[in-house]
Amino acid sequence: MVGISMDGPSRDQVMKLIEEKDRIEREIREQTAILESNNVSMHDSLVDSDGYPRSDIDVYKVRHARHQIICLQNDHKAIMKRIEEGLCKVHSEFRGSSNTGSQQATSASYTNGHAMNDINRPVTEDRCFAIVGFVHDGSPADLAGLSVNDKILQFGSINHSNFSDVTQVNQIVSHSVGQRIEVRVRRDQNVISLTVVPRPWAHPGLLGCQIRTYTVS
């Protein structure tokens, strides 16, 4: 884990939140594995055509896993928001104590909640080429921390300089099932680094979000 480049109570609080986020993600993976071992998703029926509990699965375990996943996904969304707020606070405190003025914009960055040392890189260094239109709850994009209106600066090997259209993004996603894709987005004044893992889930698509070309209005 890469730490934030400054000390203090706020930094310690963020790191504790990150540890809790990691724990939640581990539990989600564990509960998802139970569903996969029974060859069911979050929405498959647990009764047969006669209305009786299916005999080919462990209905009790599947029901419990589904309930746990829903609760954990809610916890994950809440803690990601707290991490983002905490990082903003850390960097705000740093700016207030640095006495270097506002010549250079700072960026709160983290990888799936893991803070990174981006404090000296101006936000204007990168240009966005795509934007996130929507994110389905519980999707791989949602679990990775992507949010509506995130402006994408990098998606795997794609950046503003080599981007032509969103089919490039789709190609990377389709060829990276189960693999980590590094994504950098601008959210408000912060630059955030995330790791997205495309995979089949309860609904169509491998990410569960809309990514469209960004145009300046």
Q: What is the mean pLDDT of residues 156-168?
A: 89
Structural contact between residues 53 and 61, judged by C-beta atoms closer than 8 angstroms: no
What proportion of the chain, given as a percentage, has pLDDT over 70?
Answer: 78
User: What do you get for the CA distance between the two ends of the chain, in Å?
Assistant: 38
Name the pLDDT band for 117 (thresholds 50, 70, 90).
very low
Per residue in 184-207, pLDDT tens?
999 988 888 889 998 888 788 889
* Nearest alpha-carbon partner for 146 in 84, 90, 205: 84
> Quick one: average pLDDT of 87-110?
53
CA distances from 194 to 51, 94, 100, 109, 185 (A): 43, 23, 29, 9, 8
| Domains within the chain, CATH numbers bracketed | 1-104 (no CATH), 126-217 (2.30.42.10)
On whether the CB atoms of residues 156 and 136 are closer than 8 A, the answer is: no
Concatenating the DSSP letter of every residue in 41-75 gives -SSS-SB-TTSSBPSSS-HHHHHHHHHHHHHHHHH
- 14-56 pLDDT tens trace: 888 888 888 888 888 888 888 888 888 878 888 888 888 999 9
Task: Write out the two tokens for 13.
Answer: 């609080």
Rounded to a whole number of angstroms, the CA Rg of the chain reads 20
Which of 105, 53, 115 lies closest to 84, judged by CA? 115
Q: What is the pLDDT of residue 120?
A: 35
